[in-house]
Chains A and B, each alone.
Chain A
Amino acid sequence: MNAHSGHFQQSDGDSMGKKVFLLSTLSMVIAHLAIAAFFISPSSASSIFDVTAEQKAIRVLEQHLPMVTGRLVRDFPNNIELTKLAVEFHRYRQNYYKAVKVLERALRLNPGNYDLCKSLAELASENGDYEKAIKYWEKALSIQPDDWKLYNKIADALISAGKYAKAIEKLEAKIKVSPLSARSYHLLGLAYMQLGDYEKSKEYLEKVYKTDPEYFKIHYLLGKVYRRLKQPEKAKKHMQLYRKNPNEESKGKKGPIRRGDGDLVYDQTKVEIDAFSVILARLCILGSEFYRLSGNDDDAKALFEKSEDIFEQGLVVAPGQADMCRELAFMYISTKNKPGKAVEFAKKAVERRGSARNYFVLGLAYNENANMEQALSALKKAVELEPGNKRYKKTYNKIKRKKMK
């Protein structure tokens, strides 16, 4: 813990308590006014009248989450899980730069951390910053030299950056330490093709096909290389095989390729509320635990109360929000706080959306309240709705066995 601890904390002295209560009431009023002002400020693109409940909920979460993540990352700089949650938040907001900033800061504090290097490289690669991706994958490889897959990742980024000879060098270095995979052969074939060495390219691409006949994508490159080697029949054969790829759905020949029978409006909003709610609940669960383990119960409590308050604010503006209800319930369960409220909010989640995930959390909430009968009923429903989910099944069986005992 560092000197910043106590930020979430509230005093328990009597008069002090009153002052804190007044101050906190005042600050809450100010916070709510700030939110209202945010909604109606001229810089905001919409007026208060056309901001929907869901938009308000997202804004509540967006407004408070940076503070929570920032504080936790600062208090537990060596904790990678918390850093990753902070990064996930920025990724959902499509803010590559902030996500990179969080990761680079964490890496400065944990210079030998393999996970952080990998996360940075992946993020950079997704955003077309291949030089940065190569730098961090190289660093990850220096930390864990036996992670052979990193050679492929580096070679892939080198090819995307147009550095074909270096990609070949990297993969040839891999041959010395580990047998090549279909993916490595693919990359070698691709790099040689870009260099115009079609014989070598063919040699490696054929190896992909032999190593993994289900590697459909390779037919495209094989078709290309045979066409360049002036073997049109072989080229045609591979292109035809590529066309048969079940994942290859872009060809438009003979009839419309995508009918567009989906919903009139595809709603992505709930995906985001769901994601932010999950991040907030996980931050609270993990953060509280870390505060407690470091002997700072007050900060754990303050974090819990802050998180609870954010959920409640969100549910005030968007009372119909199932995901927020579920995650709030899950937070109660996991932090072992207010088990009664866990059932209340899990029930609300199920009422709003009867999904397997919501029933599962309701089952956990009943279990937390020692109501095994109801817990099993809710978990059974979750299993029925999502029979393939092993976690639901395992939890159901576990409680069933517990009840039988």
Chain B
Amino acid sequence: MMIRAFFNKSLLRFGIIAGLICISSSPMALAKESITFTDVTKETGITFKHTDGSSGEFYIVEAVAAGLALFDYDNDGDIDIYFLNGSPLKGTKSKTAPKNALYRNDGNFKFTDVTEQSGLGDTGFGLGVTVGDYDNDGDVDVYLNNHGPNVLYSNNGDGTFTDVTKKAGVGDGDHVGAGTCFLDIDNDGDLDLYVARYVVFSYDKHKAIKIRDYLAYQGPNFYALPPDGLYRNNGDGSFTDISESSGIGEYNGSGMGIICADYDNDGDTDIFVANDNMENYLFQNDGSGKFEEVGLMAGVAYNFNGKQFASMGVDCGDYDNDGLLDFYVTSYVKQSTSLYKNIDDGLFEDVTSSAGAGDGTFASMTWGTGFADFDNDGDKDIFIATGHLQTNVEKFSEHMVYNTRNEVLMNTGDGKFVNITEKAGGGLKVELSSRGAGFDDLDNDGDIDVVILNTKSGPTILRNDTNNSNHWVQIHLKGTKSNRDGVGARVKVVTKDLSQIDEVHSGRGYQGHHGSRLYFGLGEHKKIDRIEIRWLGGGVDVLKDVKADQLITITEGENPEK
């Protein structure tokens, strides 16, 4: 009897202590399993090494290179990887010309270099990339926004690509490139092209800074700034420059990352441009391909207090599952990242501080980013690629370093985030100077993995090893009336108590592309009540009672709303 009483008391004590621990801990402690990433780079067979073309003169373009793309180039059902590379700048000697690299996914995190046979080994100075089926022929094409002439590679459907830039008319002169996106500006069923430009650079106008008598990179403020470019798809393989007539050309800026999304839910695609060291632009589409810049009024130009940041990358996603797309923007060191919550009516509120969405980012320079539900619990987490811009920062700063650790913010499900980097596994211990980052399910196991381009170094491939039993669904869209990739289509996934939205984007994050498939974590739900797809142009498809844990391909018009 006494033993039993003692046992009960012990249990009671244990319960009280456990309860106290739960109450006193951060929301992170309430989460079931922490997100975990494992660095599997060495096992992948990927040997790519990024070069920034530097000669010691500290040309501004070196510091901002480059993005990467994740996409299924050969339509074999798995996501392949395309890394951008620099090329020798004035004064740099190179025995062999560095080139971009395409790695075919052979499954199980094994990749084969198929650069040569694919014809995608561009030798231009790579900065930005996007992927989309501009000719609606059923395979994805690649556009490179270089420092120097840009290139459009058309996919031949047999694993090879052809440079069709001249025919398409999208070489875009001789600008310093940045982010780039395919989007359908006028809902006419083909993909148009947005091309961000960073600064007006030439070797004779090159500027540098001397810190402690060491040369270092100068910011965009010391350069003239160009307007971005917008090209309308003529539907015959060619494009027309409509920068001026669309309203985009009126605005000069230092464009970096961009994303196109229907932030105001009016059925057309708008454009967010993250500008470096000046206000961000938000171009609102009137539905016909004419744009008005509304960033200031919408509340995304500056931070909550009207302070301008040096924005780098941008992603969008509905982090709080309220049916509205929010934006997340990365920035310079000693500037927090920014979370702009969409409060409807075309307005945003900077909720970075109250949501904890900038935790641990103030001390780092942040670049690639993405909203992704890494633990499939039904809300989107955030990944942030970091790394200092000044290659020699350690020479003139006592506590800043060039190579830094990337960061992961876990969504706690109540509109808040917790920085879990310390507990996110060995993959987050890697310290390099990261730029672009992409998020896709590389091994088709239902969770989202990460690929990071590290400047002047090899990439990092992180396998998602989060250990939980949450369910998921992945959706791949095939447009028939609208563009073939479904770019701009809105998907709503409803389970019992969980309603999530997402949109197909072409070009996002820091000058890269990922997420042609849409990913939805479902938590404990094994079945989806309803999947609704609103295609650009107005068509709606609806699927009901769909089994979880599968990749579904949905073709426009095959499941019309009844």
Contacts and interface: CB of A to CB of B under 8 A. Distances in A.
Interface of A: 45-46, 52, 54-55, 58, 93-98, 126-128, 159-162, 164, 190, 194, 196, 217, 220-221, 223-224, 227-228, 230, 235-236, 239, 242, 250-260, 262-269, 272
Nearest to A45: B395
Contact of A262 (B222, B293, B336): B222
Contacts of A230: 345
A94 B400 contact: yes
- The 10 closest A-B CB pairs, nearest first, are A162-B353, A128-B362, A162-B354, A256-B224, A252-B252, A250-B278, A220-B306, A54-B213, A267-B210, A95-B398
B306 A260 contact: no
A302 B57 CA distance: 45
Chain B interface extent, by class: 35 or more
A161 B353 contact: yes
Interface string B187-227: 00000000000001000011111111111001001111111
14 contacts: A45-B395, A52-B213, A94-B398, A127-B362, A220-B306, A221-B306, A239-B297, A250-B308, A251-B279, A256-B252, A257-B252, A260-B222, A264-B207, A265-B210
A265 B223 contact: no
B221 A258 contact: yes
A160 B253 CA distance: 27
A46 B334 CA distance: 27
A191 to B, nearest CB: 10
A135 to B, nearest CB: 17
B392 A223 contact: no
B299 interface: yes
B305 A260 contact: no
Contact of A260 (B224, B293, B353): B224
A194 B279 contact: no
A64 to B, nearest CB: 16
A94 B210 contact: no
Contacts of A96: 399
Contacts of A45: 392, 394-395
Contacts of A190: 304-305
Contact of B225 (A94, A162, A252, A263): A252
A30 to B, nearest CB: 24
B296 A265 contact: no
A256 B399 contact: no
A93 B398 contact: yes
Given A265-B209, A269-B210, A252 B222 contact: no
A257 B254 CA distance: 10
Interface string B288-317: 000001001101001011101000000000
A153 to B, nearest CB: 14
Nearest to B220: A258
B546 interface: no
Interface of B: 200, 205-215, 218, 221-227, 250-253, 275, 277-279, 293, 296-297, 299, 302, 304-306, 308, 334, 336, 343, 345, 347, 349, 351-356, 362-363, 392, 394-395, 397-400
Contacts of A196: 343, 349
Nearest to A164: B354
Contacts of A272: 211-212
B306 A252 contact: no
A127 B336 CA distance: 10
A160 B225 CA distance: 31
A223 B347 CA distance: 12
A265 B213 contact: no
B278 A256 contact: no
Given A162-B352, A266-B218, 4 more contacts: A55-B213, A97-B399, A253-B293, A256-B226
B315 to A, nearest CB: 21
A139 to B, nearest CB: 22
Given A94-B399, A190-B305, A257 B210 contact: no
B211 to A, nearest CB: 5
A161 B353 CA distance: 5
Contacts of B308: 250
Contacts of B398: 93-95, 98
A224 B41 CA distance: 46
B538 to A, nearest CB: 28
A159 B252 CA distance: 32
A258 B206 CA distance: 14
Nearest to B397: A94
Contacts of A224: 297, 299
A239 B296 CA distance: 8
A269 B209 CA distance: 9
The CB with the most chain B CB atoms within 10 A, among A98, A223, A227, A236, is that of A227
B532 to A, nearest CB: 29
Nearest to B221: A258
A232 to B, nearest CB: 8
B213 A269 contact: yes
A45 B213 CA distance: 14
Given A190-B304, A239-B296, A268 B399 contact: no
A258 B251 contact: no
A276 B278 CA distance: 32
A46 B224 contact: no
B354 A258 contact: no
A190 B399 CA distance: 34
B224 A259 contact: yes
A264 B206 contact: yes
Nearest to A54: B213
Contacts of A98: 398
B354 A55 contact: no
B522 to A, nearest CB: 30
Given A94-B398, A217-B306, A259-B224, A235 B297 contact: yes
Contacts of A251: 278-279
Contact of A255 (B221, B252, B399, B400): B252
B210 A266 contact: yes
A228 B222 contact: no
Contact of A160 (B223, B353, B395, B400): B353
B275 to A, nearest CB: 8
Given A128-B363, A262-B222, A257 B336 contact: no
Nearest to B399: A95
A93 B212 CA distance: 11
A264 B226 CA distance: 20
B139 to A, nearest CB: 37
A230 B345 CA distance: 9
